[in-house]
């Protein structure tokens, strides 16, 4: 059998594209790691479980994709920020989907996507409602998927209220990754977020409802931890309601064995028709979210690359391909073709070893410099850990902070593409400049002189001198060029 053609990445050019490296800082091969260094067997075992999950591992999201199947529309609580919407193709936020799927339709779609998208590694149920409340559909979907594609990871997202009833079944179905949304541990705070809950065929409101929800969430988390299931906690940051309280939430979840904490900003607009939207509850600013994340860092592992995806998102994070897989265009007869995924996985394995080595070396070089300097760098990338997106096409920039602590991803910023249909759009550039507030350097695979000059005027140095290099290699080289005052080192950046 001939090897299938692999479309690596969601776009036409591959994240593995190699071009001459910018200042080389490469060394030997690193071992697998989820945080640059595998220190013991436990780390290695956990890494094995998260290395293909784009949400549980920041590193994995460069290579692997998830698919949400919108099979669970019903929900047992009301959150003041949520309005579930169907027939919705133009909004990208949690809770919206184009169509609700039956478990059979979901399976058909999963088979089509897994045959065509080699990066696919996870099937998740993240609404539109609640996977644990709409339980029968969750089970029917997962049973079908596990039967047809046994190596795919299964994952759910839940508010936690019905979770304790299903933890054993989740373990039996090999669901190894669960997300619980926990926005409070104090029912008085909870009463400002949840107007009502449905539990045991009864409706509870106010503090009473929030207390039950809190107790069930904690119980669910403890039960998952006992069974060794990796748990991510989502917390929606709501200014003036639970923002400062999330520090306490972080401690509670750490004490109960959560693997990861994902603090996401409230998304709220009048047009969403939610309680918060209609009452004008404000959303946090980028800097407020970052300050809270920085304050929580160091306790439970923090997720900083969440995209707040739709309930039917497909593809690499930030590059949704949902529209390519409309149900009426999917054959009812096609079986699963495993070839593309298998070949892709081998490629990734090889590339990753290389990337780890580069990352390790760059961090080592930065740390050993011992400089007190810091830089914040925005990177245009479409995956693979490389600088491989043109400035004109970038829709999202990854932000890295570099200091003597090393090179760390600290967030991302969405931008409108500057160059639509081959022509630079000045208003988009204005908006990008606003989004680049606080950034020292921008790295992309290509940037024209015009935007480069405009960015320079706004205080952002932009360069494509590191096109296709590994991100950390380029950032490390820039940092050293900027802060190493030894005579043998270059003093000017290639900018």
Ligand X SMILES: C[S@@+](CC[C@H](N)C(=O)[O-])C[C@H]1O[C@@H](n2cnc3c(N)ncnc32)[C@H](O)[C@@H]1O
Q: Does 267 bind ligand SF4 (CB under 6 A)?
A: no
Would you say 268 or 398 has its CB closer to ligand X?
A: 268
Q: How far apart are CA 250 and CA 268, in angstroms?
A: 23
Q: Does 117 bind ligand SF4 (CB under 6 A)?
A: no
> Angle between the 339-369 and 471-483 helix axes, to the nearest 10 degrees?
10
CB 424 within 8 A of CB 418: yes
Would you say 22 or 313 has its CB closer to ligand X?
A: 313
Counting Cα atoms < 13 Å in the Cβ hemisphere of 93 gives 15
Scan residues 142-161 and list those touching ligand SF4 (CB under 6 A): 159
CB 182 within 8 A of CB 160: yes
CB 476 within 8 A of CB 25: yes
**Distance of closest approach, residue 82 Cβ to ligand X, in angstroms:** 4
Quick one: which segment of 217-225, 302-310, 388-396, 424-432 binds ligand SF4 (CB under 6 A)? 302-310
Residue closest to ligand X (Cβ): 94
**CA 284 and chain centroid, separation:** 19
Q: Residue 409: beta bridge partners?
A: 400
Kindly list the strands in the beta sheet with 260-265, ordered across the sheet, starting from the edge strand earlier in the chain: 301-302, 260-265, 230-237, 177-181, 153-158, 120-125, 65-68, 314-315
Q: How far apart are CA 61 and CA 350, in angstroms?
A: 16
DSSP state of 377: E
First-to-last alpha carbon distance for the chain, in angstroms, is 48
315 binds, among ligand SF4, ligand X, none (CB under 5 to 8 A by kind): none
As given in the structure block, the two tokens for residue 148 are: 């047809």
306 binds, among ligand SF4, ligand X, none (CB under 5 to 8 A by kind): ligand SF4
Quick one: which segment of 241-249, 300-308, 420-428, 481-489 binds ligand SF4 (CB under 6 A)? 300-308
Q: Does 55 bind ligand SF4 (CB under 6 A)?
A: yes
By DSSP bridging, strand 396-403 and strand 406-414 are antiparallel
Quick one: which segment of 25-33, 123-131, 134-142, 213-221 binds ligand SF4 (CB under 6 A)? 123-131
Contact pick of 308, 339, 371, 403 for ligand SF4 (by CB under 6 A): 308
Scan residues 94-133 and list those touching ligand X (CB under 6 A): 94-95, 126-127, 129-130
Q: How far apart are CA 213 and CA 191, in angstroms?
A: 10
Q: Does 155 bind ligand X (CB under 6 A)?
A: no
Sequence-separated (6 or more) residues with CB below 8 Å from residue 494: 22, 463, 465, 481
Q: How far apart are CA 302 and CA 139, in angstroms?
A: 29
56 binds, among ligand X, ligand SF4, none (CB under 5 to 8 A by kind): none
**Distance of closest approach, residue 335 Cβ to ligand X, in angstroms:** 31
As given in the structure block, the two tokens for residue 260 are: 């990861």
Q: Does 82 bind ligand X (CB under 6 A)?
A: yes
Would you say 309 or 402 has its CB closer to ligand SF4?
A: 309
266 binds, among ligand X, ligand SF4, none (CB under 5 to 8 A by kind): ligand X
**Contact characters 226-265, ligand X, x per CB under 6 A:** --------x-x---------------------------x-
- Helix, strand, or coil (residue 349): helix
Would you say 54 or 451 has its CB closer to ligand SF4?
A: 54
Q: Which residues bind ligand SF4 (CB under 6 A)?
A: 55, 66, 75, 77-79, 82, 84, 95, 126-127, 129-130, 159, 306-309, 317
Site residues, ligand X (CB under 6 A): 75, 81-82, 94-95, 126-127, 129-130, 157-159, 181, 234, 236, 264, 266-268, 308
């Amino acid at each position: 059998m001939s090897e299938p053609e692999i479309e690596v990445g969601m776009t036409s050019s591959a994240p593995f594209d190699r071009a001459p490296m910018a200042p080389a800082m490469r060394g030997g091969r690193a071992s697998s790691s989820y945080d640059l260094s595998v220190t013991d067997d436990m780390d290695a075992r956990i890494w094995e479980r998260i290395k293909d999950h784009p949400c549980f591992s920041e590193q994995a999201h460069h290579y692997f994709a998830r698919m949400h199947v919108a099979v669970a529309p019903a929900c047992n609580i009301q959150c003041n920020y949520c309005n579930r919407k169907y027939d919705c193709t133009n909004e990208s936020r949690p809770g919206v989907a184009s169509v609700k799927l039956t478990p059979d339709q979901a399976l058909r779609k999963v088979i089509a996507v897994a045959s065509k998208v080699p990066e696919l590694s996870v099937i998740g149920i993240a609404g539109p409602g609640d996977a644990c409340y709409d339980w029968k559909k969750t089970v029917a979907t997962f049973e079908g998927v596990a039967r047809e594609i046994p190596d795919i990871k299964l994952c759910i997202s839940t508010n936690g209220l019905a979770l304790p009833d299903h933890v054993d079944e989740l373990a039996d179905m090999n669901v190894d990754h669960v997300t619980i949304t926990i926005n409070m541990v104090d029912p008085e705070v909870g009463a400002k977020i949840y107007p009502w809950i449905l539990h045991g065929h009864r409706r509870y409101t106010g503090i009473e409802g929030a207390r039950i929800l809190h107790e069930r969430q904690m119980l669910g988390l403890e039960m998952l931890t006992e069974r060794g299931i990796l748990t991510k906690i989502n917390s929606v940051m709501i200014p003036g309601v639970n923002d400062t309280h999330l520090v306490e939430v972080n401690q509670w979840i750490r004490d109960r064995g959560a693997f990861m904490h994902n603090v996401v900003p409230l998304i709220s607009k009048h047009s969403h028709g939610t309680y918060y939207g209609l009452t004008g509850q404000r959303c946090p600013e980028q800097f407020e979210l970052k300050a809270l994340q920085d304050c929580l860092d160091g306790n439970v592992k923090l997720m900083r690359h969440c995209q707040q995806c739709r309930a039917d998102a497909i593809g690499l994070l930030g590059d949704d391909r949902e529209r390519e897989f409309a149900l009426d265009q999917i054959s009812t007869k096609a079986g699963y073709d495993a070839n593309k995924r298998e070949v892709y996985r081998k490629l990734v394995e090889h590339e990753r070893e290389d990337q780890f080595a580069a990352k390790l070396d760059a961090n080592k070089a930065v740390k050993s410099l011992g400089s007190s300097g810091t830089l914040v760098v925005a990177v245009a990338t479409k995956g693979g850990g490389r600088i491989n997106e043109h400035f004109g096409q970038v829709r999202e920039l990854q932000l890295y902070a570099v200091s003597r602590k090393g090179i760390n991803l600290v967030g991302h910023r969405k931008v409108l593409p500057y160059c639509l249909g081959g022509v630079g759009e000045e208003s988009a550039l204005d908006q990008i400049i606003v989004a680049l507030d606080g950034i020292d350097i921008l790295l992309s695979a290509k940037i024209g002189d015009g935007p480069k000059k405009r960015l320079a005027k706004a205080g952002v140095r932009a360069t494509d001198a590191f096109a296709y290099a590994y991100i950390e290699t380029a950032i490390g080289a820039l940092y050293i060029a900027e802060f190493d005052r030894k005579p043998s080192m270059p003093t000017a950046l290639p900018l």
